[in-house]
């Protein structure tokens, strides 16, 4: 019995750490868009290497996405998984806030 509980805990820990589903909504190639893409890519590579799934959506290309995803601010990073859902607005240059909002433990420090 203890075996399975430990297994579950382990799986849980792995899953929460493992699957970050992130979507970044940007508006074309504006300065803010570029900065946001650069920032999130850097951050993911540093902290979530191998366990994240980042999609960049250009709202100009798919305007319906703005309504479907309740996006009004650009750039917006939506953390779909793990729960809870969070929306990070802005160009993501305040990395400590981003990490906090994404609930990423900074193991280095």
Partner 1 sequence: MAKPKKIIKPAVKFLQKCPTGITGLDEITGGGLPLGRPTLVCGSAGCGKTLLAMEFLVHGAVEYREPGVFIAFEETAEDLAKNVASLGFDLKALIARKKLAVDYVFIERSEIEETGEYDLEGLFIRLGNAIDTIGAKRVVLDTVEALFSGLPNPAILRAELRRLFRWLKDKCVTAIITGERGEGTLTRYGIEEYVSDCVIVLDHRIIDQTATRRLRVAKYRGSVHGTNEYPFLIDAQGISVLPVTSLGLNHKVSQERVPSGILRLDTMLGGKGYFRGSSILISGTAGSGKTSVAAHFADAACRRGERCLSFLFEEAPNQVLRNMRSIGVNLEPWVKKGLLRFHAARPSLYGLEMHLAVTIRAINQFKPSVVIVDPISSFSTTDNSFEAKAMLIRLVDFLKVKGITVLLTNLTSAGTALEHTEAEISSLIDTWLLLREIELNGERNRGMYVLKSRGMAHSNQIREFRLTGHGVELTDVYIGACGVLTGSARLAQEAREKAEELAAMHDAEQQQAALERKRHALEAQITALRAEFAANEVEAKRLILQSEQRQESMVKERQEMEHSRRADPATAAGRNKK
Give whole-number Cα distances, 11 to 14, 18, 49, 58, in Å.
Answer: 5, 10, 18, 34
SS3 call for 62: coil
Binding flag, residue 66, partner 1 (CB under 8 A): yes
Tell me: does residue 100 bind partner 1 (CB under 8 A).
Answer: yes
Measure the CA–CA gap between 61 and 80, rounded to whole angstroms.
Answer: 21
Instruction: Kindly state whether residue 44 participates in binding partner 1, applying the rule CB under 8 A.
Output: no
Q: Under a CB-based contact definition with an 8 Å cutoff, are residues 27 and 74 in contact?
A: yes
Of 10 and 29, the one with the shorter C-beta distance to partner 1 is 29
Q: Is 92 in the site for partner 1 (CB under 8 A)?
A: yes
Residues forming beta bridges with residue 92, ordered by sequence position:
none
Assess 87 for contact with partner 1 (CB under 8 A): yes
Burial of 33 (0-12, 13-18, 19+ CB in 10 A): buried
Does the footprint of partner 1 cover residue 48 (CB under 8 A)? Answer: no
Pick from 18, 34, 35, 54 the residue near partner 1 by CB under 8 A.
35
Residue 54 makes contact with partner 1 by CB under 8 A: no
Residues binding partner 1 (CB under 8 A) = 25, 27, 30, 32, 35-36, 39, 59-60, 63-64, 66-67, 70-77, 84-94, 97-98, 100-101
């Amino acid at each position: 019995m203890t075996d399975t509980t430990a297994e579950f805990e382990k799986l849980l820990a792995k899953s929460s750490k493992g699957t970050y589903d992130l979507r970044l909504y940007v508006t074309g190639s504006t300065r803010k868009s570029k900065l946001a893409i650069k920032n999130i890519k850097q951050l993911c590579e540093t902290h979530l290497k191998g366990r994240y799934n980042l999609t960049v959506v250009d709202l100009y290309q798919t305007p319906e996405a703005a309504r479907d995803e309740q996006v009004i601010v650009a750039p917006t990073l939506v953390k779909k998984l793990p729960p809870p859902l969070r929306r990070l607005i802005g160009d993501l240059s305040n990395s400590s806030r981003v990490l906090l909002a994404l609930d990423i433990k900074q193991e280095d420090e």
